Structure 1
Amino acid sequence: MLLVLLVLVGVVGLLAVVHWYVWRRLVRDVTVPGGAARRLGTIALVVLPLLSLAALTAGRAGVPFWLQRVVSWPGFLWLALLLYLVLALVVGEAVRPLLRRALDRRAASTPAAPPAPAAPPVTVPPAPAPAAPAPEPPTAPEPPASAGPTAATGPSRRLFVSRVVGGAAAAAALGTVGYGTYGVLRGPRVKRVTVPLAKLPRGVHGYRIAVVSDIHLGPILGRAHTQRIVDAINATQPDLVAVVGDMVDGSVENLGPAAEPLAGLRARDGSFFVTGNHEYFSGAEQWVDHVRELGMRPLRNERVEIAGFDLAGVNDVAGENYGDGPDFAAALGDRDRARAAVLLAHQPVVIHDAVEHGVDLQLSGHTHGGQLWPGNYLAELANPTVAGLERYGDTQLYVSRGAGAWGPPVRVGAPSDITLVELASKRA
């Protein structure tokens, strides 16, 4: 408990420092004291993190679903925008002194304005009074003192540099997040991958499995998102559909209508489902029952025989906290190892159990491919494979980047996908 508290304090402290840095560079350094722009910027950098906190906690706090939707859009988008603002501003720190030096050199190379010419002497006619002393010659007025280029232009030059760097950082962050949001809302694209399996019979050569993971239905991604996914899958005319976890972020009560289009999935050998970690945060038992109502078959530490290979599925490792974790012995222990085996498992980390039980191909998701660059580097620390196809001994692992997004509805450097896996027989 103490460790959790320390981590929480550390995260809150880090966020406070990050927001202070953004306020300093994008509000204080580019606005005048006491101005309306500074007041509005300061208010925004207080309200936006509060909305982000509300977006992160609203679901588990049980607030009404309509309110979750209200706070989720600005709250989650701000988190993505904050990431890229900070990255852009850090790059700007290196540009800032270079821009200042360039302006200083330009000012130094500009010739100074010549001094004002002295006024010509004024001739005054002599007074008619007798014996008046001769008038003294007039003196030329002194030129006005110059304040010097540094004193006159220094503050304005610093303000100019701050506005250029801050404006460029804001434009880069907004453009990145805007394009990443468009990619998610547009829907996933279909990838095609061919996987040769040594044990696959010749008659099953070319068998097609549509793999979709991490749909993440919730306050942001709803029914229209589901329908786009279903349409994309059905257009591939798969032999089998595999939904490999993290379908939802919320209860059946709130998200049941959003999941309804999944009943329209069409495949010759049906649609199958395994739980992800987010199902256990959302009521896994209720969702497993609802998945059956939608016409999909949950594989809960079990397998079925498909013509030519075994299809197995295990519960997600997060289920261990609920007494419902993966059981590889139940799913694969007594099978005929002369047959090819395809395993559905949400998280790639169970690949070593798959290797031990003689699985030929494991299909997973969970990583989102990192979702927001440079998040892929963090994902690599926690997962054996972040995206794509890799081999572990005699077992191949394919990891989908997922069809949705968790938190911010934004993807950068990791576009969403549905994968059509085509099994190839080496005997063909």
Structure 2
Amino acid sequence: MFVLFFVGAVFLAHYYLWRRLVRSTTRPGRLRKGLTWALVGLVLLVVATFVGTRMELGHWLAWPGFLWVAIMFYLVVILAVLEIPRAVAVLVLRRAERGAVPEPVPVLAGAAAPPEPVAVAPGAGSPVEPAPVDSGPVAGPVAGPVVSGPDVVSRRLFLGRTTAMIAGVSALGTVGYGVTSALGDPVIERVKVTLPKLDSRLGGLRFAVVSDIHLGPLTGIGHTERIVRMINALEADVVAIVGDLVDGSVAQLGALAKPLKSLESRYGAYFVTGNHEYFSPEGPQEWIEELGELGVRSLRNERVEIKHQGAVLDLAGVNDVGGAAVGDGPDFGKALGGRAAGRSTVLLAHQPIQVAEAARHGVDLQLSGHTHGGQIAPFNLVVKLQQPVVSGLATVEGTQVYVTRGAGFWGPPVRVGAPPEITLLELR
């Protein structure tokens, strides 16, 4: 169903772009045909890019394919916004066309005045008929200017081309800014969270939270090295990697993950699966084993005790909901059952939607990712339809949840309105 919806949306988007960028800006002929076939090629490029990267084939398509996806998205959004002023301009143009020939004016040009009567002397004969006066041709109704067919077409082409130019420049500028944001350094968000039941001795415990690193065909090893370097600079007590670390197999991306071995923290680095770990043909298990060799422990529906200054915090992790389809879904009972009474619990769960179940198990704080903060505005408005929190700190059913925007990107290497993030979260 998702594939059908995605392909349908791609076709509808390109059809809309054809109407606004091709049909409205060109006359029938070679140029229109050439641009039409170019759009057909871009449709095939999008489909090939998503299919190829998912199957670990055709990664050379990733850059042009995903960049066009971003440009396509913003062209559609901006053109949709411009529909209102465009409709007003079309209405004005049509009224001008209808009003070009006014109603006939009942005034004749060049009409002569009636002849003066001729005086007749007493006793004279019949009056002499006056000679006819040549008043010239009688003019018809006075007519206003007429808008010819070619002029109407030219005005409509001008309107279409102006709209297309505004949309094109705006989309390219937005995507250019978004690429700079996505490929730049993540923002360090410093967040303090108050947990009412937290043992005072645990106050000041700090988590470096990172999610959605998305090692893949568009990222190099420098992406991982930068994230590790920035996390280490925070000198956190615990490192939490909250899912969607990779977009491929160990054979393909293992080298890109090697810098994770250099992660530094007082009590270790922990990982839970995201939905993208299940996209790998081999499943998440090979990555769990690989991360173990790199010193990152995976919490597979389990918990560990973090002992700090003589007090204990339960750190639990559950699998992503996407694992349920392959029999590897979240098990909150296993991860959270049998805890010591009165002990605070922090849960790692990739998707914010899992907080409802976490609340039923008495979790104090859930750390999540998955949303990317929307990644490309205004897509964040769509994310709200699926997830209870798009980014930042919130409370859901009595449990606090912090959602990081993620340190990487998925699909287009573009972030607009949601810069990449690494979080330093301190418990109070």
Q: Which residue of 2 aligns with 1:177?
A: 175
CA distance in 1, matches of 2:195, 2:381: 30
Q: Which residue of 1 aligns with 2:24?
A: 29
1:213–1:23 distance in 2 versus 1, CA, 3 Å: same
Choose 345-354 or 54-63, whichever is displaced more.
54-63
CA contact under 8 A between 2:278 and 2:284: conserved in structure 1?
A: yes
Match of 1:261 among 233, 236, 259: 259
Q: Which residue of 1 aligns with 2:72?
A: 82
Is the counterpart of residue 292 in structure 1 residue 295 in structure 2? no
Match of 2:316 among 289, 296, 312: 312
CA contact under 8 A between 1:52 and 1:74: conserved in structure 2?
A: no
Q: What secondary structure sits across from 1:175 in the alignment?
A: helix
Q: What secondary structure sits across from 2:24 in the alignment?
A: helix
Q: Which residue of 1 aligns with 2:110?
A: none
Residue 97 (structure 1) shift: 4.2
Residue 414 (structure 1) shift: 2.1
CA contact under 8 A between 2:56 and 2:248: conserved in structure 1?
A: no
> Given the two structures, how large is their TM-score scaled by the length of structure 1?
0.82
Is the counterpart of residue 413 in structure 1 residue 403 in structure 2? no
Q: Which residue of 1 aligns with 2:229?
A: 231
Match of 1:72 among 44, 62, 73: 62
CA distance in 2, matches of 1:86, 1:392: 34
CA distance in 2, matches of 1:234, 1:276: 23
1:338 partner letter: G
1:12–1:315 distance in 2 versus 1, CA, 3 Å: closer
Q: What secondary structure sits across from 2:157 in the alignment?
A: helix
1:391–1:93 distance in 2 versus 1, CA, 3 Å: closer
CA distance in 2, matches of 1:11, 1:254: 26
Q: What secondary structure sits across from 2:345 in the alignment?
A: strand
Choose 95-104 or 390-399, whichever is displaced more.
95-104
1:319–1:54 distance in 2 versus 1, CA, 3 Å: same
CA distance in 2, matches of 1:400, 1:339: 25
CA distance in 2, matches of 1:100, 1:322: 54
Q: What secondary structure sits across from 1:27 in the alignment?
A: helix
Map 1:26-425 onto structure 2 (within 5 A). 26-35=21-30, 37-63=31-57, 67-68=58-59, 70-99=60-89, 148-151=146-149, 153-282=151-280, 283-306=283-306, 307=308, 308=311, 309-424=313-428
CA contact under 8 A between 2:7 and 2:47: conserved in structure 1?
A: no
Residue 230 (structure 1) shift: 1.4
Q: How many residues align?
A: 382
1:100–1:180 distance in 2 versus 1, CA, 3 Å: same
Residue 148 (structure 1) shift: 3.6
Residue 302 (structure 1) shift: 1.5
- Using the aligned pairs only, state the percent identity: 53
Residue 39 (structure 1) shift: 4.5
CA contact under 8 A between 2:11 and 2:43: conserved in structure 1?
A: no
CA distance in 1, matches of 2:56, 2:95: 60
CA distance in 1, matches of 2:5, 2:245: 31
Residue 106 (structure 1) shift: 11
Choose 148-157 or 191-200, whichever is displaced more.
148-157
CA distance in 1, matches of 2:349, 2:32: 51
2:64 partner letter: P
Unpaired segments ≥5 residues, structure 2: 101-135, 137-142
CA distance in 1, matches of 2:168, 2:91: 23
Residue 150 (structure 1) shift: 4.2
Choose 99-108 or 79-88, whichever is displaced more.
99-108
CA distance in 2, matches of 1:84, 1:295: 41
1:51–1:151 distance in 2 versus 1, CA, 3 Å: closer
Residue 197 (structure 1) shift: 1.6
1:43 partner letter: W
> Given the two structures, how large is their TM-score scaled by the length of structure 2?
0.82
1:381–1:104 distance in 2 versus 1, CA, 3 Å: closer
Q: CA RMSD in A?
A: 2.7
Once the two structures are superposed, residues 393-420 of structure 1 have per-residue CA deviations (whole angstroms, 9 ceiling, x without a partner) of 4421111111111111212222221111
Once the two structures are superposed, residues 58-115 of structure 1 have per-residue CA deviations (whole angstroms, 9 ceiling, x without a partner) of 134342xxx31x1111112222211211121122222224445778999999xxxxxx
**If each structure's helix is expressed as a fraction of its own residues, which one has the higher value?**
1
CA distance in 2, matches of 1:390, 1:294: 33
2:301 partner letter: N
CA contact under 8 A between 2:243 and 2:369: conserved in structure 1?
A: yes
Residue 11 (structure 1) shift: 4.7
CA distance in 1, matches of 2:64, 2:215: 17
1:300–1:152 distance in 2 versus 1, CA, 3 Å: closer
Is the counterpart of residue 16 in structure 1 residue 11 in structure 2? yes
CA distance in 1, matches of 2:24, 2:364: 59
2:42 partner letter: L
